Chains A and B, each alone.
Chain A
Amino acid sequence: MKTLVVDEKKCCGCRICEQWCSWTHEGCVNPTMTRIKVIKLHEQYLNLPLTCTQCVNAPCINSCTFGALTKDQNTGAVLVIEDLCVGCRKCVKACPNGVVSIHKEKRKALICDLCQGAPKCVELCPMGAIQYQDVSLEGRVQQAEAALQITCAKERCE
């Protein structure tokens, strides 16, 4: 099963992902209607794209008492059944990644739907900072970094 994997060190903060997420789903560019959100951490000189991680035992789905959230069996994305969603915002609070928000006009939950398996944010990121890949490959970036750190530390010892 594929998920979105982010390498925050590559993110340049252009927010093209936000623009097209909003554009593709809502037909306009609106900073509150994007399902991916880039947070600029000024003090750390870092841009952090927050994305849905398609949790297996998804806290958002578990929190919903109206049965408005389900899983897409093909992609693993969380789907919002808008007719059932009452806009109670329990899912916003439940999300461990802070990526559920509320549509300002419809007052329904906004959650990444992986663009039915072809995520626009991945396609248009100029830095390759967002990948859509098999979940088992998650951690490869961290592995490489850890390996580098271990070798640097070793060099210093010698």
Chain B
Amino acid sequence: MRVLAYELRRLRSLRSTWLIVSAVVCCDVAAAVVLTRQLPAGPLSTTEAVRAVTALVPLLPLPFAALGAGALGALSYRHEVRYPGLAASRVTLLRRLWLLVGKLVVLAPVALALAVLTLTLDALAVRLALPTGVTLGVFDDPVLRPELFVDGAPVGPARSLAAFVLLVVVSGWAGLLFTAVVRSAVAGLLALLAVPVLLEPAAAMALSRLGDSWPLWAQELMPFRFSLGRFGLGSGLGSRLGLASSARPGPVAGLAPAGVAELLVTLAVPGVVLLLGCLLAQLRRRAL
């Protein structure tokens, strides 16, 4: 409890926290507006809607909200490295691990709140900035159509949005843990940015070996497949990996439960490696 109280006070009392949150919100809204302006005329598709609402910028490895959460995590650890308030009382391993766990626990709801906030504001921005040719289609008045957000709906964005929120939280944790390994916020953030660049093709390769492809809700959040396809670069690579753009309507319903499990394992392995790295680093150190 003491660790949680400490971390909350620390997070609240720093100006950088509020600066990061406001910068994320500004970038997000701006990107959402620009993406909405570029939409082709006609009814809004699910993919386009998700991309606009989560403000996915092409070739940026992570959404802004995920980046912001990662930055919060990285700075949180760097504070302990550079300005140890009570350095002597962090000598024992158990105290350091508890502090790390406390930081992760506090970071999760903060990242969650950041994701929900950006989603709300982006949805508002998309609605307001919609160009004249585009109609909302099925998204017209989504409050009255709850079936859109029920899991498994053919065109529903529910899974994608949940995946986005999860992505933001995991990015926050990953920023914190990478910084815990390298003890530098900048290096930690760079490592965080490198993860999707490496992980996306690797996971796709693993999936193609198994004869699966990315589920649709995951495809909608992927930075490189989308942009490579848009710039005409991805077709060769994609077809070689069995991920032709034509697969976009995608076998969401046809995806076997085993496929989801494989995907989760593929994504979880780096996380476990990272946690072990943190543990080993803490074992060797005398300070955070």
Co-complex (A, B): no
B residues sitting closer than 8 Å to A (CB atoms) are none
A residues sitting closer than 8 Å to B (CB atoms) are none
